[in-house]
Amino acid sequence: MPEAGFENLKALIVEDNAHMRTLLRAVLNSAGIKQIMDASNGQTALTMLREHKSDLVLCDLAMKPMDGLEFTRRVRNDEHSPNPFVPIIMITGHTEKYRVEAARDAGVTEFLAKPITAHNLFARIAEIVERPRAFVRCDNYFGPDRRRHVQDDYGGPWRRKDDFQQEVDVR
């Protein structure tokens, strides 16, 4: 395979189902992503994240003892989080609207419904690469900007008129 662009990328799969872990690993490998760690729940994944650098996380929602929502909140908000900006793609069969909203509010970067296809997974990764999102920090949220679309015909109040006064560089 020619240089794929992912030679240095380290991915972490957080998924309690061993078959799904194998499947995800196989799909990532086919795009040239070879440095992959996996964990069977959020608790183990947090420990791995502290010990090993990760550039991309694929995370299930329903896991025990720590589910994907709590894992995401901890990655984004823990004082000692090794990388609060790491892109997190939540991959789950729980596609009900309120669960998708809960994932968004926890701070996931992208959401992917099972059953997965390689096309859809690659599209989510491409989205992260091509259109990285701004992060927002406010009193009750830290994570990717949850407003994905600009409504040109929006006629309501501009609630964050002064939100953009403070831009920071965290590198």
Partner 1 sequence: MKSARNKAQIIAPDAYPQMLSKPNAARALKTLRAGETAERAKIAMEAQVPAMRAAILEYVEALEQAGTDMRIVFERSHDIRGFAETAGLVTTGRIADILCRYIDDMERIKKPLDATLVALNVSVIGRAARAEGSDTTMGDTVAQELAALVAKRLADASQG
Binding site for partner 1 (CB under 8 A): 3-9, 17, 19-20, 22-23, 26-27, 29-32, 55-56, 62, 83, 85-87, 92-94, 96, 98, 114-119, 122-123, 125-126, 128-130, 132-139, 145, 160, 162-171
Q: Minimum Å distance from CB 154 to partner 1?
A: 18
CA 155, CA 157: separation in Å to the nearest integer? Answer: 7
Q: How many CA atoms lie within 13 A of 136 on its CB side?
A: 18
Q: Which is nearer to partner 1, 40 or 83 (CB)?
A: 83
Asked if 108 and 90 count as a contact pair (C-beta separation under 8 A), the reply is: yes
Q: Whole-number minimum distance, CB 43 to partner 1, in Å?
A: 19
Q: How far is the CB of 127 from partner 1 (least distance, A)?
A: 10
Q: How far is residue 107's CA from residue 43's CA, in Å, rounded to a whole number?
A: 17
Q: Would you give the DSSP letter of residue 85?
A: T
